[in-house]
Structure 1
Amino acid sequence: MSAGLRPTFAMALSLGAAGGAVFTLIGMPLSWMLGAMTVTGVASVLKLPVRGWSKARPPMSAVIGTMLGSQFGPHTLQSAAQWWPALLGLAGYLLVAATLSNIYLRRVVALDRPTAFFSAMPGGLIDMVLMGAEKGGDERTIALMHSSRIFLVVLSLPPLMTLITGADVGGQSAAWRPLANMAIGDVLWFLGALAAGATFGKLARLPAPFLIGPMLASMAVHWSGVSGFVVPSAVIAVAQVVLGTTVGCRFAGISTQRILHILLTSAGATAILLSVAVVFAFALQFVLDVPIEGVLLAFAPGGLAEMSLVALALNLEVSFVVVSHICRIGMVILGAQLFLVFKDSRNR
């Protein structure tokens, strides 16, 4: 079934869409992503015939990247000059949060050193799994820890924002943009940026090529002024459903006891990461012209695609969130490599 849509993924996608629709009807924030993620996560625990599909994420990442690029414009460069305190704060946040999370996983959970280290680092799932395996860590545990972290961050972030900042997250949703508002010319520019960006991303071997490549292409289109296409809300909803479904299905095929153990373990590490993010967000709000909700989202230890979609859905400063998370991933990879080189040199 590799050439077509897998029945187990079709089942998961149907459940995800139904979950998103229910969450939308009851007025939940980030309803399409949270609904899809929650329902498919529960389906995985209940051992229903649902599975993720690796071929679904690249094209959806390209769609998301193109959407993100449309949020950048000439004003971004002017704003970015004011963001340097956030990037310095981000480095400090990663150092403090990863250290505390590592101590928790080593001393409380009793994971072995490499597994704990790469599970604690709030970086990209694939990067951390590959680097952890190279150093003798448990690949499956690292993958499940990061999958659980993303799941828990996306699930807890909207209510956390409301609790900490008092913001009405449900009322911050972006205005609905009908599909009919997108002219034929805009559709062609959208598809062209998507295809060209994905191709460039792969050829240039960019990190997350299907997301960053189309994002750069879409930025170029908007900066040049040849098109100012705005992605319709229905497309964003589909992106949320697919992404939420793939996150929820990461627990498929794993025993219920193992899932609950990983979720409980990850909840502790995620609580540490989010608590430190809240502290840094409150401190940085005084030196940044960005709402505290945007600062918190930029520091939240979720995935780049997931956090970017949250920013889009909540009508926050998308470019700031995207730049922060790209820098986070780069800092984590570089920091992990430097730390390991230092450790290896001391052990010789």
Structure 2
Amino acid sequence: LSAMPGIAQEVGANTAVVSLVQTIRVLMVVLTIPFTVFYLNTKNEADAVVATQGSAFSSGVFTLSNISWTAALILGAWLMSRLAVRLHFPAPWLIGSMLGVAALQVGAGALIGYDLIPYWPAQANIASQVFLGATIGSKMNKQMFVGLKNTLIVAVVSSAGLIAATVLSSIAIAEITGISVITAILAFSPGGIAEMATTAVTLHEDSTFVVAVQVVRIILVIAMLPPFFRFLHHVWAKRQPDYKAAK
């Protein structure tokens, strides 16, 4: 939901339609997948207590070491973003900063033998979404909403099909690999990382695996789609009469 409108803005797509469809998709996933896995959960009620520790999204404690590590991650994100721009990465500011922080976090943990925990205040995540939303919203106009009824129908139908395909493929993967069906559904669902991981923690499933798969999914989507869109645009442009006349 955060990445796709940003990519749409970068490649010149209709950000209003992208934001609308992505919002519908996330809402449908969040409103269906948790209820589905709760229904599939066969554990005792005593085992379904919400875990209060071990969350994969700990924001750390406000200490000098955690603040220092946060500053180091921010610097690494900025430097990697600049490198991604020079190397013409797709969505360079987003994927560059993500890769830079991931490399620092994993590398430092491997070097010293334990994971360093940065301090990320909840307001920082909110602020980033507000700025992104304001940027996208400022570029909208009424012409973008022409044919909105058809867009809504396509969004609902495609999202429902995507959710059904996710559940069926997750069941198949669980049978092949031996992992829990609930863990597989939460890991491969095209929803928010936080929502899926929270549900996994609540049901005492493998939240680490869920987060890892969700992060890989997002990185692949962000890395692969922009070049694919540019390829489609190039193919479409070559078929236009003006392009052929210029050649």
TM-score range (shorter-chain normalised) is: 0.5 to 0.7
Other-structure match for 2:156: 267
Q: How does 1:299-314 map to 2 (within 5 A)?
A: 299-304=188-193, 306-311=195-200, 314=203
Change (3 A) 1:307 1:242: farther
Q: Note if contact 1:304-1:326 (Cα within 8 Å) is conserved in structure 2.
A: yes
What is the deviation of 1:271?
1.0
Q: Please state if 1:125 is matched with 2:4.
A: yes
Residue identity over aligned pairs, in percent, reads: 19
Per-residue deviation, residues 163-221 of structure 1 (Å, max 9, x unmatched): 3x33569954553249xxx9x99944433332221221121016356666555444445
- Matching of residue 295 in structure 1 with residue 211 in structure 2: no
TM-score, length-scaled by structure 2: 0.59
Deviations, residues 61-96 of structure 1 (Å, cap 9, x unaligned): xxxxxxxxxxxxxxxxxxxxxxxxxxxxxxxxxxxx
Q: Which runs of 5+ in 1 are unaligned?
A: 1-121
Tell me if structure 1 keeps the 8 A contact 2:95–2:219. no
- String of CA shifts for 1:116-169, please: whole Å, max 9, x gaps: xxxxxx9932344235x52xx422111121122223322322102123x33569
Per the alignment, residue 74 of structure 1 pairs with none
The alpha-carbon distance between structure 1 residues 173 and 307, as it changes in their structure 2 partners (threshold 3 A), is: same
The answer on whether the counterparts of 1:129 and 1:143 sit within 8 Å (CA) in structure 2 is: no
Name the residue aligned to 1:341: 231
Measured after TM superposition, the shift of residue 300 of structure 1 is 0.9
Aligned to 1:68: none
After TM superposition, list the pairs within 5 Å mapping 1:6-21 onto structure 2. Answer: none
- Equivalence for 2:113: 225
Residue by residue over 1:247-274, the C-alpha shift from the partner in whole angstroms, topping out at 9 and shown as x without a partner, is xx99x9x9xxx9x967665332221111
User: Is residue 2:216 matched to residue 1:327?
Assistant: yes
8 A Cα contact 1:172 1:314, kept in partner: yes
Q: State the Cα RMSD in Å.
A: 4.7
Measured in 1, the distance between the counterparts of 2:202 and 2:98 equals 18
Q: 1:157 to 1:212 in 2, by over 3 A?
A: farther
Aligned residue for 1:48? Answer: none
Structure 2 residue 91 is the aligned partner of structure 1 residue 204: no
Distance in 1, matches of 2:235 and 2:155, equals 31
- Deviations for 1:298-340, whole angstroms, at most 9, x for unmatched residues? 2111244554555455554344333323332343342563365
Shift of residue 286 of structure 1?
2.4
Q: Given the alignment of the two structures, is residue 166 of structure 1 paired with residue 41 of structure 2, yes or no?
A: yes
Q: Distance in 2 between matches of 1:288 and 1:198?
A: 38
Preserved CA contact (<8 Å) 1:193 1:221: no
Residue type of the alignment partner of 1:126: P
Match of 2:86 in 1: none
User: Which residue in 1 is equivalent to 2:89?
Assistant: none
Answer yes or no: is the 8 Å Cα contact 1:290–1:317 preserved in 2.
no
1:46 aligns with none
SS at match of 2:175: coil
1:284 Cα deviation (Å)? 0.6
Q: Is contact 1:199–1:213 with CA below 8 Å preserved after alignment?
A: no
Post-superposition Cα deviations, 1:91-122, rounded to whole Å, max 9, x if no partner, equal xxxxxxxxxxxxxxxxxxxxxxxxxxxxxxx9
1:286 aligns with 2:145: no
Q: Cα offset for 1:280?
A: 0.9
Count of residues in correspondence between the two structures:
207
| Cross-structure match for 2:28 | 152
CA distance in structure 1 between the partners assigned to 2:50 and 2:96 by the alignment: 27
- Structure 2 stretches of 5 or more lacking a match? 82-92, 240-247
Q: What one-letter code is carried by the residue in structure 1 that aligns with 2:113? A: G
